[in-house]
Structure 1
Amino acid sequence: MRQRLKWLAGAAALITGLGVGIAVTAGPAAAATGFTVSSGRILDANGNNFVMRGVNHAHTWYANNFSSFADIKALGANTVRVVLANGTRWTKNDTADVSRVIAECKRTKLICVLEVHDTTGYGEQAGAATLAQATDYWISVKSALDGQEPYVILNIGNEPYGNQNATGWINDTKNAITRLRAAGFQHSIMVDAPNWGQDWQFIMRDNAASVFATDPQKNVIFSIHMYGVFDTAAEITDYLGRFQTAGLPIVVGEFGFDHSDGNPDEDTIFAQAQQRGIGYLGWSWSGNGGGVEYLDMVTSFNPSALTTWGQRIFNGANGIKATSREASVYGGTTPTTQPTTPPTTQPTTPPTTQPTTPPTTQPTTPPATGACSATYAVSNSWGNGFQGTVTVTAGAAAINGWVVNWTWPNGQRFTNSWNASVTSSGDSVTARNMPYNGSLAARGSTSWGFTASFNGTNNTPTVTCAAA
């Protein structure tokens, strides 16, 4: 049963002091055998971009419930964050059990994020483990983790500080990373924020660069938990944007649609994560207690009994089925299920990530009356993939719909798109407006985005726009 205390008052501080930020660009990670980090993006063992789309599973309290892994995968997830215990508060998951968890993740083609839950709320929660004790645990089960780097990300400890003396998180996290590397761990290391994971004091945000620099492999992923502190779009957008601007990898390691400490803005979390290419892992599959039973995604571990929250995260706008892509170490299959409803939150600000190659924007002439124009820009590139944005602008008169067309010049192919209805036939592309962004005032504009793959050459296509 997962227990969570209410956060102390002070969440309003999330807006104050936002002028203090992090400022470093993370370079390519050192050579490794599994996941790596490069310019703020997470790459899998094949060097392909990987965006987590998954859920948390309370394995340590339901240790015999291995069927949930396949059920989570069947609903479209590519990642599962697995709750483990080091024996400080709950029964220790031994080496054999950790090996079995990893084997089940691999069998079901899920990426495993393994975390020690006993650290939750250290300093406020009686009996909580320290990050040093969590590190001891990882070293004790290292034989189960060796060689599993392409399939496992090591999340040192869940929400490792409460709100008391939370600045201790800085040195404790650095020491844990140093010890893990000295012990020979080659995995990507994920670190949770203090303040019960919500970082309302900005301790993780403002010290992320120095924590990242501690790792000789430069292979650290930061995890923010978004509950009641993150109840406005401005807070969510600013927090995620600062990490991307600094070139540091961030994921939403836990979040929900409601919570006892406030009502998180889950629609913005989904929309911003998708727009920015950031991973998310919702809390949690099933088995919640302690007053947060409403965060169960399915009732009594039954995948056919989705709750309201389960329907939202799996089947909703920017949810798992619409946006998840299997890790390329398993084959990288693209989801066959497309969104059935338009996004409820349309992004209002562009991603703050800086492109790794100069944007290639196609110039256009002013549109004629009643017509429209479109510009195509590459905003980011990684490996054999890239992210693009198309901006549609109405002419001297309003339009009620638009159609954008182009032909890929080098055999590029879409892997995902948002804010447009996109169809392809070979190299030919047609994109039509969604119900909510087709009507544009005179000289008004809207944007839609996509990710795509390329092989060798990625020239800009010639784009046309017509009013529908």
Structure 2
Amino acid sequence: MRPRLLAVITALSAVALAAMFVLTVGSPARAAAGFTVTNGRLYDANGTEFVMRGVSHAHTWYQSQTRAFGDIKATGANTVRVVLSGGRWPANSASDVANVINLCRQNRLICVLENHDTTGYGEQSGSVPLSTAVDYWIGLRDVLAGQERYVIINIGNEPVGNNAVSPTWTQATTTAIQRMRTAGFDHTLMVDAPNWGQDWRFEMRDNAASVFAADPDRNTVFSIHMYGVFDTAAEITDYLGRFRTAGLPIVVGEFGFNHSDGNPDEDTIMSYAQANRIGYIGWSWSGNGGGVEYLDMVTGFDPTRPTSWGQRIIDGANGIRSTSREATVFGGGPTGTPTATPTTQPTPTAQPTTPPPARGCAAAYKVIGSWPGGFQAEVTVTAGSAAISAWTVGWTWANGQRVTQSWNTTLTASGNAVSARNVGYNGNLGAGASATFGFLASWTGSNTAPSPTCTAS
């Protein structure tokens, strides 16, 4: 997306009926220091699944609007996609990019950095090929090194227009990924689709498996932009569903509620993404022009003046505030309020009335918040009168609850039985010391609190 009127796509092909090649994606070929992709899912550096719920910010045009990072975080977003330029627009220097990363980290946002210079290559004057975008990233290598836990690199925005170019999207994207790896980048890479990001010719969809396999780290995420091409539920669910079936990682890297090339079905985009744990990033916080000002989420970068689009994506059904969970690399469990007002008040469970046995441990369970169909809970593990080096907490659900996400623990479940073990950094507890872990879970009808047991070694 650009802050000017997007060229109208002149033809919309029918949804292809050919089946996508199914690829079973295992562990990455080389372990990364930050985010990783396994079986089509994105995981943060703690091994916790991460689903993007974010906002794009046009930083390259509005470099003084640094307050936007905090304002975006206040929406509950866990991700900000930051527009950068190597010179097609006001250039972003190494020091500026370093400051952007610091702003993301200060506000506990995962930073998706994207080079916008490639927008509409082969069709729009001034656009550059993906190879030039890779040159830009290589020039920032020293700034980006060591930030793999917090930064995802979106190599180039909407890198091919609607006109045929050589090399093809598949060739150019494969080469770009491999050059990034050769240059030493172990970050998760995000690649945008051709056709102004909307892939209406299905080149990305039909070649994603081979592009993913060509990444020696197996750590690439595909990004589809959904505007007028995706104006029906069938088109949205078919496109995203093929990636899920193939075990390939997909995010909706841009979308809106209206556009000059048609009326996207934002309700289906958001509901299908939520139901299938697919990330989405809305375009954009503020500053749009050229006839698409309606895509501003707030007017004039003022968070007290939300637009109808901002209200929809932030506080509407399946919106950012109700579905976003903070990345655990920031030191805690997911944040963000599942609903503005929980339907039931948190009911802490009292700490054990008897002390844990020597060389043993006890576990106390409490509900942090509850909403229709889901809740967040926390378990506190307390060592007895002697130090312990490891702990395991177990319980059995009474009402068929199911854990959907956890942090600060390795959690497994078999039917109603749950087992939660310490991770590397919280197993060693001194006498009387405590550690906590948390999780999100679903419930139906009743949500009886379990009585956890704790064993230690």
Band of TM-score, shorter chain: 0.7 to 0.9
Q: Distance in 2 between matches of 1:423 and 1:330?
A: 18
* Unaligned residue ranges in structure 1 (runs of 5+): 342-409, 433-447
2:423 equivalent to 1:460: no
Q: Deviations over 1:104-151 (max 9, x none)?
A: 111111100000101101111111011011011001111110111100
Deviation of residue 2 (structure 1)?
A: 1.3
Q: Which amino acid aligns with 2:123?
A: E
Task: Report if aligned partners of 2:188, 2:220 keep a CA contact under 8 Å in 1.
Answer: yes
SS in 1 for 2:413: coil
Task: Tell me which amino acid in the other structure corresponds to 2:71.
Answer: D
Q: CA–CA distance in 1 between the matches of 2:199 and 2:100?
A: 30
Q: Percent identity?
A: 58
Aligned twin of 2:404: 451
Counterpart contact for 2:120–2:196, Cα < 8 Å: yes
Cα deviation per residue 1:346-405 (whole Å; 9 max; x = unaligned)?
xxxxxxxxxxxxxxxxxxxxxxxxxxxxxxxxxxxxxxxxxxxxxxxxxxxxxxxxxxxx
User: How far 1:9 moved relative to its partner?
Assistant: 2.7
| Mapped partners of 2:266, 2:331: distance in 1 | 30
Residue 64 of structure 1 deviates from its aligned partner by 1.3
Q: State how 1:209-358 maps to structure 2 within 5 Å.
A: 209-339=209-339
Per-residue deviation, 1:422: 5.8
Q: What's the counterpart of residue 383 of structure 1?
A: none
Correspondence 1:135 to 2:134: yes
Q: Distance in 2 between matches of 1:229 and 1:416?
A: 39
Q: What is the rounded CA distance, in whole Å, between the counterparts of 2:43 and 2:266 in structure 1? A: 26
Cα distance change on mapping 1:422 and 1:95 into 2, 3 Å: closer
Cα 1:413–1:199 change in 2 (3 A) is farther
1:22-37 superposed matches below 5 A: 22-29=21-28, 30-37=30-37
Amino acid at match of 2:295: L
Question: Aligned residue for 2:373?
Answer: 420
| Change in CA separation of 1:140 and 1:106 when aligned onto 2, cut-off 3 Å | same
Contact 1:155 1:189 in 2 (8 A): yes
**8 Å Cα contact 1:36/1:44 also seen in 2:** yes
Please state how far the C-alpha of 1:429 moved relative to its aligned partner: 7.4
- Partner amino acid for 1:94? S
Q: Output one character per residue of 1:279-299: Cα deviation in whole Å (capped at 9) or x when no partner.
A: 100000000011100000001
What CA distance in whole angstroms lies between the structure 1 residues aligned with 2:376 and 2:323?
A: 16
| Structure 2 gaps, min length 5 | 342-362, 380-394, 418-442, 447-457
Amino acid at match of 2:27: P
Is 1:44–2:44 an aligned residue pair?
A: yes
Residue by residue over 1:309-344, the C-alpha shift from the partner in whole angstroms, topping out at 9 and shown as x without a partner, is: 111111111111101111010024434523369xxx
Q: TM-score, normalised by structure 1?
A: 0.76
Instruction: Report the Cα distance in structure 2 between the residues aligned to 1:124 and 1:195, rounded to whole angstroms.
Output: 10
- Give the Cα separation in 2 of the matches to 1:299 and 1:106: 25
What amino acid does structure 2 have at the position aligned with 1:5? Answer: L
1:114-193 alignment to 2 at 5 Å? 114-165=113-164, 168-193=168-193
**Superposed displacement of residue 47, structure 1:** 1.1
- Offset of residue 168 of structure 1: 1.0
Aligned position for 2:6: 5
- 2: distance between equivalents of 1:277 and 1:455? 20
In structure 2, C-alpha distance between the alignment counterparts of 1:157 and 1:24, rounded to whole Å = 25
CA contact (8 A) 1:321 1:335 kept: no
- Alpha-carbon separation, structure 2, partners of 1:41 and 1:411: 31
Report the Cα distance in structure 2 between the residues aligned to 1:425 and 1:78, rounded to whole angstroms.
21
What secondary structure is seen at the aligned counterpart in 1 of 2:32? coil
Q: Number of aligned pairs?
A: 381
SS of structure 1 residue aligned to 2:414: coil
- Give the distance between the partners of 2:371 and 2:11, measured in 1 at CA: 35
Deviation of the 1:91 alpha carbon? 2.2
* Contact 1:22–1:206 (8 Å) recurs in 2: yes
Q: SS at 1:11's partner residue?
A: coil
The 1:290/1:31 distance shift into structure 2, 3 A limit, reads same
| Cα shift at 1:413 | 9.4
Aligned to 1:402: none
Secondary structure of 1:273's partner? Answer: helix
Assess if the C-alpha contact under 8 Å between 1:282 and 1:313 holds in 2: yes
Counterpart in the other structure of 1:58: 58
**Contact 1:422 1:430 survives alignment (8 Å):** no
**Structure 1 segment 353-392 matched on structure 2, within 5 A:** none
Greater shift after overlay, 454-463 or 240-249?
454-463
Q: How far apart in 2 are the matches of 1:177 and 1:261?
A: 30
Paired with 1:213 and 1:457, the residues of 2 have a C-alpha distance of 29
* Aligned partners of 1:415 and 1:450 also within 8 Å: no
Q: Quick one: distance in 2 between partners of 1:249 and 1:282?
A: 18
Distance in 1 (CA, whole Å) between partners of 2:141 and 2:148 is: 12
Report the CA distance between 1:209 and its aligned residue. 0.6
Q: Contact conserved, 1:422 with 1:431, CA < 8 A, in 2? A: no
| Greater displacement, 192-201 / 324-333 | 324-333
Letter in 2 for 1:119: T
Q: Deviations over 1:210-250 (max 9, x none)?
A: 11111100000000000011011111111111111111100
CA distance in 1, matches of 2:38, 2:290: 39
Q: 1:428 to 1:321 in 2, by over 3 A?
A: farther
Determine helix, strand or coil for the equivalent of 1:96. Answer: helix
Q: Is the 8 A contact 2:226 2:255 kept in 1?
A: yes
The answer as to whether partners of 2:373 and 2:444 remain within 8 angstroms in 1 is no
Deviation, structure 1 residue 270: 0.6
Query: 2:20 maps to which residue?
Result: 21
Give me the whole-angstrom Cα distance separating, in 2, the residues matched to 1:6 and 1:275: 32
Deviations 1:192-218 (A, max 9, x none): 000000000000000001111111000
TM-score, scaled to structure 2: 0.77
Amino acid at match of 1:331: G
Output the amino acid matched with 1:103.
N
- Which residue identity does 2:373 align to in structure 1? A
